[in-house]
Amino acid sequence: MVVLACVGLAASATSTYVHFQVLSDPGYTSFCDINTSVSCTQVYQSRYGSVLGVPVALGGIVWFAGVLLLVLASVRLPRESAPNVAGYLLVWSTLGLAVSMYMAYASFFVLGTYCVLCVTVYVAVIGIFMLSGSESATPARRLPAAVFGDLRTMMHRPVEFGLLAVFVFGSFGSAVWFAREFSPVSVDTAETDTVTSQPVVVPDQQSEFVRYWESQPRVELMLPPSPGRELDTAVAVIVVKFNDYQCPACGSAHRAYAPIFAKYASSHPGLVRQVTLDYPLDPECNEQAPRGLHHGACAAAVAVRLASADLGDDARMEMEEWLYTHQEDLSRDTVVSALDDVTGIDASRYDTAYDEMILAVQIDIALGNELPVEATPTYVINGVVVKGTLNPQYFDAAIAYELDRAELESVD
């Protein structure tokens, strides 16, 4: 059990470090990002990767540290406390197994993405759960009363009590720090142009970010013609997003970056433009995703294009919002039904336009393959490719830098 706990603790600590780097370093690339199907970053950046800004991986550190603390207690506490400790361990391991199985389901079946570090944690948790049932344990109904007696015993043992205090305060303190440092950006859905407060890039970070950004190569993208993609000559910053409407990370990025686009729409009207290109990880229309699990993504891309072509930007945005908030339920049937409910475009119109629209989606996919797109979302900001997402403060800094750069070029 100690060996499994140490392995799990190491995997959880590595996951937490990678998650921290992804959030704080715009140029960081994780060693376990292999492709669109095997990617730790994709999982960490999804809605399942954190809770209120606290990485789920940090919970793994706390859980495995708790296992080690309970194993120590089973050795150090009086013999009469051993059944109680075995009971605590059984309850603790059951909770850990429940969370792990939920996260495994979300990763494998909802996201369709595998995280090597996460799988290591799942295996360690399952092993510990199986071992925890091998000892005689106090029944669960009697454990609450037993806790107080065991705590009184620990208070007379400075080493054990000190370790318990470090465990409790360390767990709580680290969670609070992450929540404050990387709290998610919220969007006021009642006022689409409301810009919520966001963390800013301090001077030291700014200079480091500029060095990183200036070192990146730039690519040229010829945007395929499509309704709503026409660009005014005044546009200074073009943000291209290769998108999958069933991709949780794409939905998270949409929500996180909406206040940033709203801010620049107010402060620099007409100068910053986002263009969404379709790259559904759905084998229905994307041959590069033969094992893709987003089986409603092609249908969703067609629905958004049809809403835009028939009714304009407002209908397009309404359809996008519906799709991002119903990702788990997407299929062709649910998409067609929603298109009718949201925009009034019925199934017969959808079926008639489908073949034409899916060809346009495949043109976007072909462009993504040339880049190549290795994960969704992939952003291209004035030619600089961002695989995955940037922390919102760096995304904001990238747009600000490109605006300044465009202004300097216009002066020259």
Q: Which tens digits make up the pLDDT trace of 184-235?
A: 443 333 333 333 445 555 566 678 888 889 999 999 988 887 766 666 678 9
Domain co-membership, 17 together with 123:
yes
Over residues 397-408, the pLDDT tens digits come to 999 999 999 888
Domain co-membership, 173 together with 291:
no
Whether the per-residue pLDDT at 33 is higher than 70: the answer is yes
Share of the chain above pLDDT 70, in %: 90
17-42 burial: b if 16+ Cβ within 10 Å, else e:
ebbbebbebbeeebebbeebbebbbb
| pLDDT at position 202 | 56
- The answer to whether residue 394 sits within a structural domain is yes
Instruction: Let me know: does 23 contact 391? Beta carbons within 8 Å.
Output: yes
Domain co-membership, 269 together with 152:
no
Do you find a cis peptide bond into 372, omega within 30 degrees of 0?
yes
- The answer to whether residue 188 sits within a structural domain is no
Domain co-membership, 163 together with 248:
no
- The answer to whether residue 152 sits within a structural domain is yes
- Higher-pLDDT residue of 148 and 129 is 129
| pLDDT at position 230 | 66
Whether the per-residue pLDDT at 47 is higher than 80: the answer is no
Over residues 57-103, the pLDDT tens digits come to 999 999 999 999 999 888 887 887 788 888 889 999 999 999 999 99
- The answer to whether residue 252 sits within a structural domain is yes
| pLDDT at position 185 | 41
- The answer to whether residue 195 sits within a structural domain is no
| pLDDT at position 387 | 83
Domain co-membership, 348 together with 208:
yes
Residue 412's pLDDT band (cuts 50, 70, 90) = low
Over residues 139-148, the pLDDT tens digits come to 878 888 788 7
Give the DSSP H/E element, type plus range, for residue 248: helix 248-267
| pLDDT at position 199 | 53
Domain co-membership, 73 together with 31:
yes
Q: What is the CATH number of the domain that holds 127?
A: 1.20.1440.130
Residue 130's pLDDT band (cuts 50, 70, 90) = very high
Mean pLDDT, to the nearest integer, of 334-351?
A: 95
Tally the residues of the chain. 412
Domain co-membership, 30 together with 161:
yes
| pLDDT at position 194 | 35
Is this structure's pTM higher than 0.75? no
- Higher-pLDDT residue of 235 and 111 is 235
Domain that holds residue 103: 2-181
| pLDDT at position 409 | 77
- The answer to whether residue 198 sits within a structural domain is no
Whether the per-residue pLDDT at 333 is higher than 60: the answer is yes
Instruction: Let me know: does 107 contact 120? Beta carbons within 8 Å.
Output: no
Mean pLDDT score across all residues of the chain: 85
- Higher-pLDDT residue of 288 and 130 is 130
Over residues 233-291, the pLDDT tens digits come to 789 999 999 999 998 888 888 998 999 999 999 999 999 999 999 999 899 999 988 77
For the ranges 15-19, 110-114, 376-380, the lowest mean pLDDT is seen at 110-114
Domain co-membership, 138 together with 217:
no
Domain co-membership, 323 together with 388:
yes
- The answer to whether residue 80 sits within a structural domain is yes
Rounded to the nearest angstrom, the gap between the alpha carbon of residue 58 and the centroid of all alpha carbons in its chain is: 15
**What does the alpha-carbon distance between residue 255 and residue 323 come to, in Å, rounded to a whole number?**
12
| pLDDT at position 400 | 93
**What does the alpha-carbon distance between residue 13 and residue 165 come to, in Å, rounded to a whole number?**
20
For the ranges 25-39, 178-192, 356-370, the lowest mean pLDDT is seen at 178-192
Instruction: Let me know: does 178 contact 59? Beta carbons within 8 Å.
Output: no
Structural domain ending residue among the three candidates 133, 150, 181: 181
**What does the alpha-carbon distance between residue 394 and residue 174 come to, in Å, rounded to a whole number?**
23
Domain co-membership, 134 together with 213:
no
Domain co-membership, 73 together with 218:
no
Radius of gyration in angstroms for the set of CA atoms belonging to the chain, rounded to a whole number = 25
Q: What is the CATH number of the domain that holds 324?
A: 3.40.30.10
- DSSP readout, 296-346? THHHHHHHHHHHHHHH-HHHHHHHHHHHHT-GGG--HHHHHHHHHHHH---
Q: Are strands 50-51 and 54-55 parallel, antiparallel or unpaired?
A: antiparallel
Into how many domains does the chain fold? 2
Over residues 158-182, the pLDDT tens digits come to 887 888 889 889 888 888 887 776 6
Domain co-membership, 280 together with 354:
yes
